[in-house]
A = this chain, B = another copy of it.
Amino acid sequence: MEKVNIAEKLSKFSDHWNPRIIGELNGQQVKAAKLKGEFFFHHHEHEDEMFLVVKGTLKMEFKDHTEVVKPGEFIIVPRGVEHKPVADEEVELLLFEPASTLNTGNIQNERTKNLLEKI
């Protein structure tokens, strides 16, 4: 049982839209990620997804509104809900979601990360 320093984990990589696994519990994973630019609308059939912002401003677009999420804030996107993360400037965040969660949800494309690195 060793503590994890979030900033130290985030310092280990610089690429965007490529979450790393930094913790596991109860079949869930804690991931650290850096985002910049726009993702695309997708949903997760069976997984709720939590985004906890550490740095920067995340815009989470839904079909009917946008939530602006800042450091010290989080948002939970329930399964089945279409969402599109947007980061005008670089955003650093934590994700909490089941180990089975694929970053692109119901869509498989060149941005899909099938295997995440543990750091």
A binding-site residues for B, Cβ under 8 Å: 1-7, 23-26, 28, 30, 47-50, 54, 60, 62, 67-69, 72-78, 81, 83, 96-98
Are A25 and B76 in touch, CB under 8 angstroms? yes
A3 adjacent to B75 (CB under 8 Å): yes
Instruction: Tell me if A's interface is mostly helix, strand, loop or mixed.
Output: strand
Question: A25 and B6 in contact (CB under 8 A), knowing A1-B81, A67-B1?
Answer: no
Taking CB atoms, residues of chain B closer than 8 Å to A68 are 3
Asked if A48 and B26 sit within 8 Å, CB to CB, the answer is yes
What chain B residues lie within 8 Å of A3 (beta carbons)? Answer: 60, 67-69, 73-75
A50 touches B72 (CB 8 A): no
A-B contacts, 8 listed (Cβ < 8 Å): A1-B60, A1-B62, A3-B68, A5-B73, A7-B72, A24-B76, A26-B28, A26-B97
Nearest first, the 7 closest Cβ-Cβ pairs linking A and B are: A25-B48, A3-B75, A3-B69, A3-B67, A5-B73, A3-B73, A26-B48
